[in-house]
Amino acid sequence: MLDADVQPEPTAAPATPARPGPTRPTPAAIGALRPLSLDSVSLSPSGQLGQWQARNAAATLPHCIAQLDRAGALNNLRRLTGEHDGPHTGMWFSDTDVFKTMEAAAWELADPRADPDLRAFLDGTAELLARVQDTDGYLNSYVMAERPDRRWHDLHWSHELYCAGHLFQAAVAAARVGVGQVIQDVARRLADLLVERFGPAGTEGLCGHAGVETALVELYRTTGHRPYLDLAQLFIHRRGRGLLDPERFGPTYLQDHVPVREATEVAGHAVRQLYLLSGVVDVAVETGDTALLAAARRLWDSAYLTKTYVTGAHGSRHRDEAYGDPYELPPDRAYGETCAAVASVHWNWRMLLAEGHRRYADELERVLFNALAGASSLDGVRFFYSNPLQLRTGHDGSDEDAPGQRLPWYSCSCCPPNLARLMASLHAYTATAAADGLQLHLYAAGTIQAQVRGRPVTIAVRTAYPWSGRIALEVRAASAEPWTMSLRVPAWCRSHRLDAAGAEVAYTDGYLRLTRDWSAASVVLDLDLPPRLVAAHPHVDAVRGCLALARGPLVYCLEQADLPAGVRLEDVRLDPDAPLGTTAMPGGPPEAVALTATGSVSPAGPAEPYRDPTIPPGGPATPLPLTAVPYFLWGNRDPGPMRVWIPTG
């Protein structure tokens, strides 16, 4: 069995055994901050994060479970046991849809109020996997049924190890939550086979789709079985050495073009790159490899300074679902795969734990409140795969990549269950502990119950964030011994006010550090979040002459639905000097804050695509009041054009 992360909390010894959440470095790991236990934070459904999490439990996760049957992912497994007769359907890595949904179910089961059907789904599916699994531990429905002679032969494209990784993640979640022994046993058998086959005594293989690396480290953390960590390290060291058949897509797509520690730029398939980097950080911190961690930091600079959209989305090219050149960030052709946004949360969370810097929490917030939140419909059962920042007409000509509307499922449906597993564990990403106390990174209504220096602490968080910037904290600690509560001041925040309850206050690295006896104290932090304009780096050619609207962590957009009849979005200009305001979102959730701005509309001029610049491009401009809505809420009303970056002239 897996020993559910038996190492004690370094800064808090819980009265009852704490259940670790996702990413649980061992005590020996490099780490500035430590994650809290899964049950240390509960989100109130009245807050935005809690609302998303509740919607995930009530709608998204049941929807995913139902789709596993409808789309055939479970039948792909059942045909190996004779329980189903029919061809393999969907992608050759459809097992991951199952595993990710199982992981989501496991995290959800940490909540005692969870639907008991989740446990039945988890256990029943684990039993199915156990029946499918070969005696040597091998498990992959596609290869076992369709390519039995090609086991481990086509690692560049087979996704066998990638699939294994998602199985391990499901098992780790089950172990940490204390449910589902069968899935843990299945995972360990397969993991042991991987060690045998690809470990130091095995063949020099690696996977064309990264992901198993971080999963193996997490499995090591949960079991204490060192060979898993060693194998993850090997997989990372093997990259960039030409061991993968580059075939059609080339080595960059496969993350095999350069050894990780020599890479200077994120490149290739964005999800592969980001999954790999989560594993890189995990291996670096667990092996004390500061040079590898420095490589991750260097690649973070590449990714977040030159290749990330203002929504936190990654991937500028539909072709190869890839990163582009630095500053190649076209809003209309943004690929911005939902899975890349999930992976960006994973990577930034790991960087935050390792180094403690605010920029990682800022990025986590940005991608969560924009690219990620926007991937789901308001009802939680339709999803974007690609998340562009501009929609002119119908986008890509194909239903699957046409984000005029979210779809309930995809032929490659990696994204919906990825959202489900992240949302089910979202509370675990909000706060951390360190030797000096607790750090609050994401503000959400709810309760934090942790231990500081072995003594219980409760923080009740009341806030309507991100709609309001007021965060009210009621702290109760069992001990009067002073400690430090750190509150993030996001980089977007230009002014704030703090009622620190008399605490000693320092401001370092973007955090307000409040030190006092916390036996009973009320703190109020007011982050000012006036509507603001955002400009892009001048090298971002695609949005030159445009500005974006933002408020707090939220990026806004214009939608056709908010324009008067007869006005085309592409004719709208923003007056950058006019005041901005707030209003209720037309047709949106009652709590949603929309922005008001002033612009103009100038009907298109001559039809000629190219003209003498002295000829005016259009007719006289007519003033036009503008309403911008949160990007994450776009596409929930009448479908139509949308844009985040608005021309100013």
Residue 414 falls in the annotated catalytic set? yes
Q: Computed from CA positions of residues 359, 360, 361, 364, in that sequence, does the dihedral angle turn out positive or negative?
A: positive
CA distances from 18 to 3, 7, 116, 268 (A): 12, 10, 22, 39
Task: Choose which of 96, 141, 306, 425 interacts with a copy of itself (CB under 8 A).
Answer: 306
Q: Are 419 and 61 in contact (CB under 8 A)?
A: no
Which residues ranging from 232 to 251 are in contact with a copy of itself (CB under 8 A)?
250
Please give the span between the terminal C-alpha atoms of the chain, in angstroms, as a whole number. 64
**Residue of 477, 439, 437, 430 lying closest to 457 (CA atoms):** 477
DSSP 371: I
Backbone phi, then psi, for 462, in 5-degree steps? -115, 120
Cα–Cα distance for residue pair 627/598, rounded to 1 Å: 9
Cα–Cα distance for residue pair 101/129, rounded to 1 Å: 14
**Cα-trace Rg, the chain:** 25
Cα–Cα distance for residue pair 317/392, rounded to 1 Å: 17
Residues 570-589, one symbol each (x = binds a copy of itself by CB under 8 A, - = not), give xx----x-------------
Cα–Cα distance for residue pair 48/36, rounded to 1 Å: 20
370 belongs to the binding site for a copy of itself (CB under 8 A): no
Which residues ranging from 593 to 612 are in contact with a copy of itself (CB under 8 A)?
602, 604-612
Which residues ranging from 618 to 637 are in contact with a copy of itself (CB under 8 A)?
618
Taking the complex as a whole, how short is the minimal distance between the CB of residue 262 and a copy of itself, in angstroms?
A: 17
Taking the complex as a whole, how short is the minimal distance between the CB of residue 306 and a copy of itself, in angstroms?
A: 7
Cα–Cα distance for residue pair 174/178, rounded to 1 Å: 6
**Tokens at 611, concatenated:** 């003209």
453 belongs to the binding site for a copy of itself (CB under 8 A): no
Which residues ranging from 456 to 515 are in contact with a copy of itself (CB under 8 A)?
494
Query: Which span sits near a copy of itself by CB under 8 A: 73-81, 299-307, 372-380, 458-466?
Result: 299-307
157 belongs to the binding site for a copy of itself (CB under 8 A): no
Task: Choose which of 305, 480, 506, 520 interacts with a copy of itself (CB under 8 A).
Answer: 305
Taking the complex as a whole, how short is the minimal distance between the CB of residue 418 and a copy of itself, in angstroms?
A: 22
Location of structure tokens 């050149």: 325
Among the listed residues 414, 415, 493, 546, the single catalytic one is: 414
401 versus 436: smaller Cβ distance to a copy of itself: 401
Among the listed residues 9, 103, 286, 321, the single catalytic one is: 321
Query: Which span sits near a copy of itself by CB under 8 A: 208-216, 478-486, 539-547, 621-629?
Result: 539-547
Cα–Cα distance for residue pair 431/449, rounded to 1 Å: 11
87 versus 545: smaller Cβ distance to a copy of itself: 545
407 belongs to the binding site for a copy of itself (CB under 8 A): no
As beta bridge partners, residue 457 has 450, 477
Task: Choose which of 268, 336, 416, 531 interacts with a copy of itself (CB under 8 A).
Answer: 268
What residue type is assigned to position 321 of the chain?
A: E
Residue 207 falls in the annotated catalytic set? no
Q: Contact residues for a copy of itself (CB under 8 A)?
A: 250, 252-253, 267-268, 304-306, 308, 310, 317-320, 322, 324-333, 390, 392-398, 494, 532-548, 570-571, 576, 602, 604-613, 615, 617-618, 647
Residues belonging to the active site: 321, 414
